[in-house]
Amino acid sequence: MLEGMTSRDPQAAELARLASLVADETRASCLLALLDGRAWTASELARHAGVAASTLSEHLGKLVAGGLLTEERQGRHRYVRLADARVAQLVEELASHLAPGSALRPRNLRESSAGSAMARGRTCYDHLAGRLGIAVTDALTSRALLRQDTGFALTEAGLAWFDTAGIALDRKGRRPLARACLDWTERRPHLAGVAGAALCRHALDTGWCVRIGSERAVKVTGAGEKALAELLGISSTALR
């Protein structure tokens, strides 16, 4: 080895490999779609990305081999989903670093409406995002149920609030109870982690929120507006 030269950092190669997986528009489109936390078929993703099924299959193979997606087969169908919450966090945070004016303007009314719905409320993998996610996070914080001063953490009052609301928290796993996730539309952190996932699941299961369209957008129902007002003091205007 030449004098003064050092061996290459093995992490550099892994980082470059990971970056190359994301640095493709078709694969990026798939990763963003899968942030809804659900499993998609290969044909659904092909239609979403606007590519042929054979082309999409090749891209999915790379994402699965690279550890970003997992797959399972049911009969003739091949389903894929994000590998875990860490992959979702990576994709969401990469999207949050886009310059505010870098996104293309909507080409038609449908795209404009879909973009507005996503900004208003959506799922980010398994937790709430957009203005809805921020409103919930701010309400939890203002009521001293969630701390943000030294990273996200539920307070004792916060733990009691989840119990009172009937939202069970799984504290046995390795996933953090509360974690900040940078919102790519609001440019502020919203609640993720076990608590964020449990709250989102409860909102969908109880009908506080319903999914709309084929994207990740969600809408707060009348029952949801009432529940969030009673439990967290969130005004209905903040949810629309």
Tens of pLDDT, residue by residue over 221-230, are 999 999 999 9
Identify the residue with better confidence: 11 or 55.
55
Nearest CA-CA partner of 81 in 27, 39, 33: 39
| DSSP per-residue codes, the chain | --TT--PPPHHHHHHHHHHHHHSSHHHHHHHHHGGGSS-EEHHHHHHHHTS-HHHHHHHHHHHHHTTSEEEEEETTEEEEEES-HHHHHHHHHHHHTS-TT-SPPPSSHHHHHHHHHHHHSEEETTEEEHHHHHHHHHHHHHTTSEE-BTB-EE-HHHHHHHHHTT-----SSSS-SSEEEE-TTTSSEEEEHHHHHHHHHHHHHTTSEEE-SSSSBEEE-HHHHHHHHHHH---GGGG-
CA 107 – CA 125 distance, rounded (Å): 26
Of 95-99, 128-132, 134-138, 218-222, which gets the smallest average pLDDT? 95-99
Residue 104's pLDDT band, with cuts at 50, 70 and 90, is: very low
Q: For the segment 28-49, what is each residue's pLDDT rounded down to a tens digit?
A: 999 988 888 788 998 889 998 8
Token pair 């054979």 is at which residue? Answer: 54
Average pLDDT over residues 81-105: 72
Predicted confidence (pLDDT) at residue 103 exceeds the cutoff of 80: no
- For residue 5, the model assigns a pLDDT of 54
Domain segments of the chain as ranges: 12-83, 90-98+111-239
Per-residue pLDDT reduced to its tens digit, 155-181: 999 999 999 999 999 888 888 999 998
Fold of 12-83: Arc Repressor Mutant, subunit A (1.10.10)
Tens of pLDDT, residue by residue over 203-219, are 999 999 999 875 688 99
- 215 phi/psi in degrees, rounded to 5: -95, -160
Q: What is the predicted pLDDT for the residue at 106?
A: 45
Per-residue pLDDT band for 101 (boundaries 50, 70, 90) equals very low
CB 26 within 8 A of CB 42: no
User: What distance in Å separates the CA atoms of residue 106 and residue 207, rounded to the nearest whole number?
Assistant: 30
Length of the chain: 240
Question: Contact, 192 vs 146, CB < 8 A?
Answer: no
- The residue-averaged pLDDT of 86-108 equals 65
% of the chain beyond a pLDDT of 70: 88
* Average confidence (pLDDT) over 3-16: 73
SS3 assignment for 63-91: HHHCCCEEEEEECCEEEEEECCHHHHHHH
Instruction: State residue 236's pLDDT score.
Output: 84
Question: For residue 199, is pLDDT > 90?
Answer: yes
Can you tell me the distance from the alpha carbon of 13 to that of 19, in angstroms, rounded to the nearest whole number? 10
Residue 78 confidence (pLDDT) above 90 = no
Cβ–Cβ < 8 Å for 132, 218: yes
Query: In this predicted structure, what is the pLDDT of residue 207?
Result: 96
Say which residue the tokens 């149920």 belong to: 145
CA 55 to chain centre: 26
